Amino acid sequence: MFNVLTFVVVACAAAVPQPQSDSFSLSVSRRVASEATLRENGLQVVELERRRSGSLMRREPIQSSFAVYSFVADIGVGSPATNYSVIVDTGSANTWVGAQKSYKRTATSKATGSSIYVSWGSGNTYVNAKEYYDQVTLSSSLVVASQQIGGATSTRGFDGFEGILGLGPTGLTDGSTTGKGEIPSISDNLFANKLIDSNTVGLAFVPQLNGSGIVVFGSQVPEGTIVGDITWSTITNSYPASAYWGIDARIAYGGRTFLTTAGAIDAGSTLINLSTDMFRKYQSATGAILDSSTGFLRVTSAQYAAMQPLEFVVEGRSFALPSNAQIWPRSLNTVIPGGVAGRIYLAVVDKGENSGEGLDFILGITFLERFYATYDVALGRIGLAETLYTNATSN
């Protein structure tokens, strides 16, 4: 079973619906899977990351339900609203509910006649859903009156989660629903209804066991969320990274450049995924060994003390992960199958393909717990900034 962490929806004063208001923050919490759940699914954490990476590469439906930990939000659907705990995901743009807790039709539910069926892997994980227009509530003062959502009729493999809040580019919805092309995302409709000042979505997570965070809708970042200015970069032209929150970056370790290439920021991934060639260079530079029990790289205390920053240089600015940000949270060692308390595992993994494929790195929650990331839909750009937790030592 998952350790369910509490979370609260916070509405800023500026979120009161009015023409072109400012921004709105939706609080999220980290939900951690138990070792039993992971063992039941029969997969190592690294293999789960690799499967998701492969789905992103092929623009296939993405396996989101078996992450070791994810960030979840509470949204209401219908009137009166039924609350659902949904995974925050930037690798998809559809929003659907009904896993674990059934989708409840109310007076605001209007069936479209279309259906959604998505399966992952060998079909052991799937969602079968009907499409509806329905009211979606993010707070008592911020309501999307008519949002296209999926109401699941049957699911498998979404233990502990009740759906997905899709925050990826709208193009990811194309072909997801029978007989339709793209459908507007939550962010699209918030902006179209003049509930936020800009079609912009931002993420800020906290790297602690009882981790929290926010999803920011609109251009105004809440005070205290970031340190310094946001650096903006046009979404990469390299495919398939261009289909997601894709950026071009120079990756370096200890001042030594590995590669300048394209990748993506993905809230549905847990770790830092590097192409095989970059991963091998990283392993060599750190002196880490591959731990056969977990699939993670492992270092000694002396090697950890000597570790250097892992840099992602975007538009000339370095977003560097200090040594503490490169390791798996030691408090969660025993959650991962094969993990041993006290050991130091690295949160950088091999994505399973060499560079040059258009998606050579994936920056998951490990990165988002240290840096604020935001997606400006209208201008097609990604923004990054440091936070109070960039150099935290909580791992």
**H-state helical runs in the chain:** 35-41, 45-58, 186-192, 276-286, 301-305, 365-368
Catalytic one of 134, 266, 350, 376: 266
The conformation of residue 36, written as its DSSP 8-state character, comes to: H
Catalytic one of 74, 89, 159, 376: 89
User: What secondary structure does DSSP assign to 148-205, as a single string?
Assistant: EEEEEEEEES-TT--EEEE-S-GGGGTTSSTT------HHHHHHHTTSSSSSEEEEEE
Distances, alpha carbon 223 to alpha carbons 204, 213, 220, 226, in Å:
12, 14, 9, 8
Catalytic residue list contains 266: yes
Catalytic residue list contains 350: no
- How far is 285 from 283, CA to CA, in rounded Å? 5
> In Å, how far from its chain's centre is CA 173?
17
Q: Which residue has the tokens 């750009």?
A: 381
Residue positions annotated with a catalytic role: 89, 266
